Amino acid sequence: MTESAVRHPLDPLDLGEIAAIRALLDRDPRCTNAMRVTTLELREPAKPDVLAHRPGDAVVRAGRLVLLNSESGEVIEVIADLTAGRIASWDVVTADGQPPIILDEFFKIATIVKSDPAWRAAVARRGITEADYDLVQVDPFSAGNFGYPEEQGRRLVRAVAYWRGGPKDNGYAHPIEGVVAVVDLIGGRILTLVDDPVAIPIPRKPRNYHREALPPPRTDLKKLHITQPDGPSFSVDGWNVTWQGWTFRVGFTPREGLVLHNLSIAGRSVIYRASISEMVVPYADPTTNHYWKNAFDAGEYGLGKLANQLELGCDCLGLIHYFDIPAADDFGQPTLMKNAVCMHEEDYGVLWKHNEFRTDTFETRRSRRLVISFFATVGNYDYGFYWYLYLDGTIQLEAKLTGIIQTAAVAPGEAYRWGGMVDENLGGPTHQHFFNARLHMMVDGEANTVTEHEFLPRPWGADNPHGNVFDTTSRVLSRERDAAREADGRTGRYWKISNTNVVNSVGKAPAYKLAVTASPLLLAQVGSAVHRRAGFATKHVWVTAYDPAERFAAGEYPNQHAGGAGLPAYIADNANIENTDIVVWHSFGHTHVCKPEDFPIMPVEYAGFMLKPNGFFAGNIAMDVPADTDPASAQHGASCCCD
Give the catalytic positions in this structure.
297, 381
For 483-508, b/e burial (b = at least 16 CB within 10 A) is bbbebeeeeebbbbbbbbebebeeee
> What's CA 504's distance to the chain center, in Å?
34
Residue 424's SS3 state is coil
How far is 134 from 548, CA to CA, in rounded Å?
47
How far is the C-alpha of 291 from the C-alpha of 606, rounded, in Å?
Answer: 25
Query: Residue length, the chain?
Result: 643
Q: Which amino acid is at 342?
A: C
- Residue 577 CA to residue 50 CA, distance in Å, equals 22
Q: Are 83 and 1 in contact (CB under 8 A)?
A: yes
Dihedral sign, CA of 81, 87, 92, 98?
Answer: positive
Q: Which amino acid is at 107?
A: F
| CA dist., res. 481 & res. 474, Å (int) | 17
- How many CA atoms lie within 13 Å of 466's alpha carbon, on the beta-carbon side? 2
Buried-state track 289-305, b at ≥16 Cβ within 10 A, e below 16: bbbbbbbbbbbbbbbbb
Q: Residues 6 or more apart from 383 whose CB is under 8 A from it?
A: 279, 297, 303, 375, 376, 377, 399, 400, 401, 402, 403
Cα(249)–Cα(262) distance, integer angstroms: 6
Backbone angles phi, psi at 20, to 5 degrees: -65, -35
Cα 178 from Cα 418, distance rounded (Å): 15
DSSP string, 513-566: EEE--------SPTTSHHHHH-GGGG-SEEEEE--TT---TT-S--BT--S--S
SS3 327: strand
Give the residue from 129, 206, 132 showing the smallest Cα distance to 172: 206
In whole angstroms, give the CA distance from residue 386 to residue 399.
6
Query: Which amino acid would we find at residue 16?
Result: G
Amino acid identity at 325: I
Closest CA to 118 of 174, 21, 183: 183
Q: How far apart are CA 263 and CA 85, in angstroms?
A: 32
Residues 6+ apart with CB under 8 A from 131: none
Q: How far is CA 339 from the centre of its chain?
A: 18
* Three-state DSSP state, 53: coil
What 3-state DSSP class applies to 618?
A: coil
* Cα–Cα distance for residue pair 546/575, rounded to 1 Å: 10
